[in-house]
Amino acid sequence: MSAQKRSAPRRARRGEPRLLFFLSLLIIGLLCVVVRLLSVQVVEAKRYQALANSQRLRRVEIAPHRGTIYDRQGKELAFSVDAETIYATPYFIKNPALVASKLSPILELDEASLFEKLTKDSGFAYIARKVDKERAEAVRALEIEGISFLKEGKRCYPYNSLGSHVIGFVGMDGRGLAGLELYYDEFLRGEPGQLVAENDPLGRPIPGGVSRLTPSTDGDGVILTIDRDIQYRAEEELRLQVERFQAKGGSIIVMNPRTGEIYAMANEPAFDLNGFSKASAESLRNRAVTDVYEPGSTMKVIIASTALEEKMHRPDDVFHLPSTIKVADKVIGEAHPRPPEDFTFAEIVAKSSNVGAITIGLELGKERMYKYIEAFGLTKRTGIDFPGETYGFTPPPDRWSGSTIGNIPFGQGISATPLQMIQAFSVLANDGFWVRPHLLCRVINARGEAVKTYPEDRGRKVISTQTAREIRDILEQAVNEGTGEAARIDGYRVAGKTGTAQKPKEEGGGYEPGRHIASFVGFAPAQDPQLVILVVIDEPVGAMYGGVVAAPVFKKVAEFSLRHFRIPPE
């Protein structure tokens, strides 16, 4: 009993330190929490704060309203409408499979790909971009946590394929991707605004949360030199002709030779601007600006202008032309073989004599010939306000082979874009001045005031006015009694030149038999040219001459345009 009594205090003494020990454990535990709190709330606070903000602060870009593109009459060629983009914060999607199955029927998207987007390891994933109001509302009604909405402008092209190559298109991000949408993007796109708001996981603003709004600035309107009606007519006639001759393609340009304004620029094949993503790469090119071709006989006009300007000949000089001509190792004859004959200088152009053109070319010599080819702008870009312009190839004189001088006068062994070619003819129509071609008329702001106007340009003198007029008479003769008869328009004086060129082999070295490029370039009215029109048809089947294939298109488009502009007949 006494032993037990003695042991009790010992236990007691042992018990008290244990209480103290345990209390200190509790205090140590609390101190651990304190240390941790100091770490999270002081040392690393900034990092967590930034993370918290990044998940709550939605920097919503307010897309500016993209400017409208108008034709010269003020018709809308491209405009933006409000559309909604649906995006997800995958982080907050609790049940991706269920959400995918709910969204799939509304958005008509594949469930598996939706699931993939919803489970993406990121804080942002587009679900569907630029959907119409009804679908956006249907998705909104589901009130899915982690699904948010964004207003974005959707680009609309009311005339679908009209002016497709010129107007170009806009990417999903609202930036111009091609054509004038790209070239004048800086005016069209405007300045995006920004809404910084603190949102809950459903994307609803947190009351009392941060919110800053920087309003967006809408894009400016762009008025083009394009005339919707002429553009439409040009496209239509080109398309019909390409179809009729089962051609590979074609281009047409209608412009004002005085001002350089382009009224129409079209190519075949074209594409629907509202579905550009489905168009073939082949159809997206603005061939009139980006592709080159061998101009063929239209080149003879440049050679003739040079000879007249250099005062080597008068239009009525008579040439005795053999049926063929030998240059270096090559014998060149006419397209339609003929016996040796007398041609006037004018007839050489009007009847498109290869032998005659080469004869004149040989007289000019390569240096002078090159100088004028350069002066007419065939060796460099025109500088049109359009992205991706290329220029043709003219070999510099020091690299001409023996036969080059026998090719270039009738437009082979030299290449140019359709735009370069029509420019060269504009010089003739514009009394010898080269004026830069352009598509922009002016940029207007929301109040309709001009922000920028395409600068007027007197142009660069290439040949004398007299030479230009003389050539015009010759070209009128070409239409009236030469190869271009199909271009004649009742009541108007028309000047023009046909061109038929063999297509060079793609691999080089010679020409493809049976494959031609038929072209016609002309202007009207001949005595006071208001319009220059170039038509190029690539690989027509069943006919090959510019006078047959291209000239009728010129005629129809020119006829329409003359009436459209109310240019009185003679």
Name the one range near other proteins by CB under 8 A: 24-32, 69-77, 128-136, 229-237: 24-32
Q: Report if residue 1 touches other proteins, rule: CB under 8 A.
A: no
Residue closer to other proteins (CB basis): 57 or 279: 57
Residue closer to other proteins (CB basis): 3 or 281: 3
User: Hey, how many other C-beta atoms are within 10 angstroms of the C-beta on 337?
Assistant: 8
- Provide, rounded to whole angstroms, the least separation between the CB of residue 419 and other proteins: 56
Among 2, 3, 18, 455, binds other proteins (CB under 8 A): 18
Torsion of CA 354, 357, 362, 368, to 10 degrees: -140
Residues within window 96-115 making contact with other proteins, judged by CB under 8 A: none
Residues within window 166-225 making contact with other proteins, judged by CB under 8 A: 198, 200-202, 206, 208-209
Q: What residue has token string 């080819």? A: 373
- Provide, rounded to whole angstroms, the least separation between the CB of residue 47 and other proteins: 7
- Provide, rounded to whole angstroms, the least separation between the CB of residue 19 and other proteins: 5
Q: What is the DSSP string of 162-196?
A: TTHHHH--B-TTS-B-SHHHHHTHHHHS-B-EEEE
What SS3 class is residue 99?
helix
Q: Report if residue 23 touches other proteins, rule: CB under 8 A.
A: yes
Helix (H) or strand (E) holding 90: none
Instruction: State the number of CA atoms in the 13 A half-sphere of 49 facing the CB.
Output: 6
Residues in contact with 45: Cβ distance below 8 Å, sequence separation at least 6, in sequence order: none
Q: Report if residue 145 touches other proteins, rule: CB under 8 A.
A: yes
Q: Report if residue 42 touches other proteins, rule: CB under 8 A.
A: yes
Of 290, 322, 487, 477, give the one whose Cα is nearest residue 389.
Answer: 290
Which residue(s) pair with 253 in the sheet? Answer: 265, 534
- Provide, rounded to whole angstroms, the least separation between the CB of residue 208 and other proteins: 7
Among 45, 97, 142, 213, binds other proteins (CB under 8 A): 45
Q: Report if residue 33 touches other proteins, rule: CB under 8 A.
A: yes
Q: Report if residue 142 touches other proteins, rule: CB under 8 A.
A: no
Residues within window 54-93 making contact with other proteins, judged by CB under 8 A: 55-56, 90-91, 93
**CA distances (Å), 312 to each of 360, 361, 407, 422, in order?**
9, 11, 20, 25
Name the one range near other proteins by CB under 8 A: 13-21, 253-261, 358-366, 426-434: 13-21
Name the one range near other proteins by CB under 8 A: 17-25, 269-277, 394-402, 508-516: 17-25
- Cβ atoms of 324 and 315 closer than 8 Å: no
Structure-token pair, residue 396 = 């510099």
Name the one range near other proteins by CB under 8 A: 44-52, 250-258, 262-270, 550-558: 44-52
Residues in contact with 44: Cβ distance below 8 Å, sequence separation at least 6, in sequence order: none
Residues in contact with 68: Cβ distance below 8 Å, sequence separation at least 6, in sequence order: 76, 78, 79, 80, 221, 222
Structure-token pair, residue 304 = 């003739």
Among 2, 5, 280, 447, binds other proteins (CB under 8 A): 5
Question: Is residue 395 reached through a cis peptide bond, with omega within 30 degrees of 0 on the bond before it?
Answer: no
Among 3, 26, 112, 281, binds other proteins (CB under 8 A): 26
Q: What does DSSP say about strands 324-327 and 221-224: parallel, antiparallel, or unpaired?
A: unpaired
Residue closer to other proteins (CB basis): 22 or 393: 22
Among 36, 59, 326, 336, binds other proteins (CB under 8 A): 36
Residue closer to other proteins (CB basis): 8 or 446: 8
Phi-psi bin for 169: left (phi > 0), alpha (psi -120 to 50), beta? beta
Q: Report if residue 320 touches other proteins, rule: CB under 8 A.
A: no
Give residue 59's Cα distance to chain centre.
32
Torsion of CA 426, 427, 432, 438, to 10 degrees: 80
Catalytic residue of the set 80, 283, 297, 415 = 297
Q: What residue has token string 């993007």? A: 185
Name the one range near other proteins by CB under 8 A: 8-16, 103-111, 153-161, 480-488: 8-16
Question: Is residue 339 reached through a cis peptide bond, with omega within 30 degrees of 0 on the bond before it?
Answer: no
- Provide, rounded to whole angstroms, the least separation between the CB of residue 28 and other proteins: 10
Residue closer to other proteins (CB basis): 47 or 563: 47
Residues within window 353-382 making contact with other proteins, judged by CB under 8 A: none
Name the one range near other proteins by CB under 8 A: 1-9, 74-82, 272-280, 344-352: 1-9
Among 2, 4, 277, 280, binds other proteins (CB under 8 A): 4
403 catalytic per annotation: no
- Provide, rounded to whole angstroms, the least separation between the CB of residue 88 and other proteins: 12
Q: Report if residue 11 touches other proteins, rule: CB under 8 A.
A: yes
Residue closer to other proteins (CB basis): 37 or 318: 37
Give residue 94's Cα distance to chain centre.
44
- Cβ atoms of 72 and 225 closer than 8 Å: yes
Question: What distance in Å separates the CA atoms of residue 216 and residue 227, rounded to the nearest whole number?
Answer: 31
Structure-token pair, residue 144 = 């899915």
The residues annotated as belonging to the active site are 297
Residues that bind other proteins (CB under 8 A): 4-5, 8-9, 11-16, 18-20, 22-23, 26-27, 29-30, 32-34, 36-38, 40-42, 44-49, 51-53, 55-56, 90-91, 93, 145, 198, 200-202, 206, 208-209
